[in-house]
Amino acid sequence: METKFKKVSASKITLSELMLPSHSNFSGKIHGGYILSLMDQIAFASASKFSGKYCVTASVDTVDFLNPIEVGELVTLKASVNYVGRTSMVVGIRVTSQNIQTGKEKHCNSSYFTMVAKDEFGNSSEVPRLELSSLEEIRRYCEAHKRILAKKEHKELEEKLDYSSEEALQMLREMNVRIKI
């Protein structure tokens, strides 16, 4: 069987939505959970468009809320597949908001969602390989690969760490933690 390649452009999605009072939290800003829900939707759309399959969220990398979003602003999310594994894809998402009256835009957050393609039985399913066609796409692919390697390294380190050793307990005591066990 011939290996299938797809361009990053085959995964690009843009979603814009006007922020309503019903989307706000108690401080009058748009609720972070609502923005996360939109991010999950666009990650699903991007990964499904690229793979041609139903996709599920496997993990979400750090989401830092850089700037608050106000009621009445237009929020735009842009997403594309940055990296592919055998059955998974890393979707990069950028969220901006725009004051419709002034035209001023601000970057609100960026994140990376790892999505896994599923077949009709719910099993993980292979995805097309990624064809990179610009230096920007190569940079995003390499950065995603570095994050994946760092995550694996961190997991291996955690597995080796003995939290109950006297050395680990002493380190915690030095961090101003009281231990009573």
pLDDT tens, residue by residue, 18-37: 999 999 999 999 999 999 99
Q: Which pTM value belongs to this model?
A: 0.89
Least confident of 1-15, 37-51, 125-139: 1-15
Q: How many CB atoms lie within 10 A of CB 80?
A: 24
Q: In the CATH scheme, what is the homologous superfamily, with its name and number, of domain 5-131?
A: Hotdog Thioesterase (3.10.129.10)
pLDDT tens, residue by residue, 88-144: 999 999 999 999 999 999 999 999 999 999 999 999 999 999 999 999 999 999 999
DSSP string, 45-78: HHHHHHHSSEEEEEEE------S--BTTPEEEEE
CA-to-CA distance for 19 and 100, rounded, in angstroms? Answer: 11
When pLDDT is averaged across residues 43-63 and rounded to a whole number, the result is 97
| Domain range summary for the chain, segments of one domain joined by + | 5-131
Query: Where does the pLDDT of residue 1 fall: very low under 50, low under 70, confident under 90, or very high at 90 and above?
Result: low
When pLDDT is averaged across residues 3-27 and rounded to a whole number, the result is 96
- At residue 63, φ and ψ (nearest 5 deg) are -120, 110
**Hunting for tokens 């760490």 — which residue is that?**
161
When pLDDT is averaged across residues 69-87 and rounded to a whole number, the result is 98
pLDDT tens, residue by residue, 55-69: 999 999 989 999 999
Tell me, what amino acid is at 2? Answer: E
Say if residues 109 and 63 touch (Cβ distance below 8 Å): yes
